[in-house]
Chain A
Amino acid sequence: MKVNAMLKIKKLGILFLVCAMVLSVFAGCTAKTSTEAAPTATAAATEAPAVVEGPYYSADMTAEQIVVDAASQGKVGNWGLGNEYEIQALLSKYGQDTTYLSQAFDMDGFDDDSILLASAMTYNELGLVKNSYDGGYGYGDTVSYIDMNDEGVAMLEDNIFCTKTFAEANPNTVKAFIAASMKGWAYACANPEEAAEIVYSYGSSVSSEHQAYMAGEVKKLVETDTAGNTVTVYGKMDTAAMQQTLDLAKTYIKLDDAVAADALAGFELSNIMDSTYWDAAMADGAVLGTPEKTDVTIQLKWLPQAQFMGYYVALAKGYYDEVGLNVTITPGGGDISETTAVYSGQVDFGVTWVSNLIAANAGGMDLIEVAQVFQRSGLVLVYKLND
């Protein structure tokens, strides 16, 4: 009995040893690469200028000084999941490593200083940081931000897209949907308070104060381009801004799949957008024709909020009915992304960021953008100011 027990222990010991050995062999293979990476990180740290007085930043510091300091401390935050390319472009612009901290969907990390330079959308997180209504952090003017548009690393965000196959099979539906949605956006931008109320009444749980703030900020993104000029036509596809988005996407979207990476490298604007539907829908005296498919669904990129007010307004004001469409709005924010939902045919239209559409097409989807709602980037990096 005792001998038997000893034998068992021996065998278990051998099993353990074998496992440990196999692990260490594998670890040995990759240990080399990790030591190689280390020196670059320390090099970046020594380059950091020592202009920081106090725990935060002063109002007269340049964007470069702030980015370099925060990056050298490893305290630049972003949500990742395809939202990080502008931040990486900015980090590269100032010669920093493109790693960033994963930021949660609240601003607690920014609040407790684990993130010094936090990503924020002008219409959402920035409002929560500044304002003191329910859910807000009430920082007011004690924070400032770096705007991606000013830094020349802006990538376009919310658009309307569908699959190429769907657009070719249902051109009138696409045109009608664009026309009615843009009418909704025009009304929403003219009456942001009312638009905020409409979104709230459709079951959005964002507080009505924040909703009103959001509507005001979204209006700015819809009516101003990356250079700061006013845009008068809603949903216009600005080829220069689209090209900049595509170029940045090619540089910063890192794909492990060689097939997809090759596809991405060869992309041109025609692979991701088709402006003919928008042109036809928005032309003076446009004839929309009868929609081929009348029951359509649009999946939003995020939760129901004023970011998508144009669609809710078009629904509430009956603009979709006018063009003969019966539209359902599905909120996003889940892990089945809008690109997958549209591609699988579960929904017909989607709202996504251009960079996400580019990545999805590189992976093998056949999506095309049919309208570009946001004309400039709404992403900023927010930081606290020293008193």
Chain B
Amino acid sequence: MKKIKEIVNKNSFATTVYPILFGVLIVVLWQTQILHKILGADTFTLPMPSRIFDIILANTDSIWTNVVATLIVAIGGLIVGSALGFMLGVLATFAPKWGAGGLTVIAAFNAIPIIAIAPIANNLTKDLSDNPEIRSMIAKMIVVTLTCMVPMSINVNRGMTELKPFSLDLMKSYAAENRTVFFKLRLPNSVPYIFTALRVSVPVCVISALVSEYFAEFIIGVGRQIRENIVLAQYATAWAYITVACAIGIILYIILLIAEGITLKGRK
């Protein structure tokens, strides 16, 4: 109990209170329209927080339906993409020459704009299901998978190869098998790197889920609502969904941080 108190007092105080204070400051500036003056925006393109909040409260049901659709795509894609990226990273470790070439090629997928992948994925998945809701969900997930794969594979590869000096020699002097080296040295060494990758790919998975929704066949998702409302010039409603999108990202990120804190506790 004492221990928990200590942690809360020292670390979490700074990590939670500072950003919250800053956030409150921004919201106050926003609501009092000082922010509008600083940015040179008007209350139409940047609606008041109170109005945004009212819209969220008045539409909880439809917002939740869209949130669930986005979450399934984002998390599903994140898991599949990270798993594939991890495997690629491992592959690149054991076959450095072939793997590194593969990493470069895979990194190329990152260079294809999401807006180009999304329609291709849409067309390719047309025959997968009769239900447009399911086939467009798969199409969206493919996009997220591709974007989440790259940071993971690069970071895992680093984690597996950038070992502490002489640790590999030490293992070899014990005549350790490759398997042992992998599980006892490389894998533990790559754990912080995995979290580095996740810190990049968690925001990326949400954003690419949002963008892929723009092009999906089935009209659902937070991103789709943002686009529909922006195009129809309903900025207040669009901002309500933008707020929700940010909330999804923040919550996922906090969950990641907690998981990271638990896993990496006691290191260093």
List chain A positions with a Cβ less than 8 A from chain B. 4, 8, 11-12, 15, 19, 26-27, 29-30, 33-34, 74, 80-82, 101-102, 104, 108-109, 112, 114, 253, 255-260, 335, 337, 339-340, 343-344, 356, 359-360, 362-365
Contacts and interface: CB of A to CB of B under 8 A. Distances in A.
Contacts of B255: 15, 19
A256 to B, nearest CB: 5
Contacts of B208: none
A27 B67 CA distance: 10
Interface residues of B, number: 41
A258 B54 contact: yes
A136 B12 CA distance: 62
Contacts of B45: 344
B61 A30 contact: yes
Q: Lowest 4 CB-CB distances: which A-B pairs, in order?
A: A360-B233, A11-B262, A257-B237, A359-B232
Given A8-B263, A256-B58, A258-B55, A102 B219 contact: yes
A101 B234 contact: no
B230 to A, nearest CB: 7
Nearest to B216: A102
Given A104-B217, A256-B55, A340 B64 contact: no
B233 A8 contact: no
24 contacts: A4-B266, A8-B262, A15-B255, A74-B132, A82-B231, A104-B215, A104-B217, A255-B237, A256-B55, A256-B58, A256-B59, A256-B237, A257-B51, A257-B237, A259-B236, A260-B234, A337-B231, A343-B44, A343-B233, A344-B45, A360-B232, A364-B44, A364-B236, A365-B233
A257 B217 contact: no
A386 to B, nearest CB: 21
Contacts of B217: 101-102, 104, 109, 114
Contact of B51 (A114, A259, A365): A259
Interface stretch (B119-127, B160-168, B178-186): B119-127
Interface in B22-65: 44-45, 51, 54-55, 58-59, 61-62, 64-65
Contact of B119 (A4, A27, A104, A356): A104
Interface in B229-267: 229-237, 240, 255, 258-259, 262-263, 265-266
Nearest to B52: A257
Contacts of B259: 12, 15
Given A256-B234, A363-B234, 6 more contacts: A12-B259, A26-B64, A82-B231, A102-B217, A114-B132, A256-B240
B62 A15 contact: no
Contacts of B228: 80-81
Interface of B: 44-45, 51, 54-55, 58-59, 61-62, 64-65, 68, 119, 122-123, 126, 132, 215-219, 227-237, 240, 255, 258-259, 262-263, 265-266
B61 A335 contact: no
Contacts of B235: 363-364
Nearest to A337: B231
B233 A339 contact: yes
A363 B232 CA distance: 8
Contact of A260 (B123, B230, B236, B263): B236
B58 A12 contact: no
B258 A80 contact: no
Contact of A104 (B55, B122, B233, B240): B122
A259 to B, nearest CB: 7
B231 A365 contact: no
Contact of B233 (A34, A258, A337): A337
Nearest to A364: B44
Contacts of A11: 262
Contact of B265 (A8, A19, A80, A363): A8
A363 B262 contact: no
A81 B227 contact: yes
Contacts of A26: 64
Contacts of A339: 233
Nearest to B55: A257
Contacts of A363: 44, 232-236
A259 B53 CA distance: 13
Contact of A12 (B229, B236, B262): B262
Contacts of B68: 27
Nearest to A101: B132
Given A15-B258, A259-B51, A335 B64 contact: no
Contacts of B258: 15
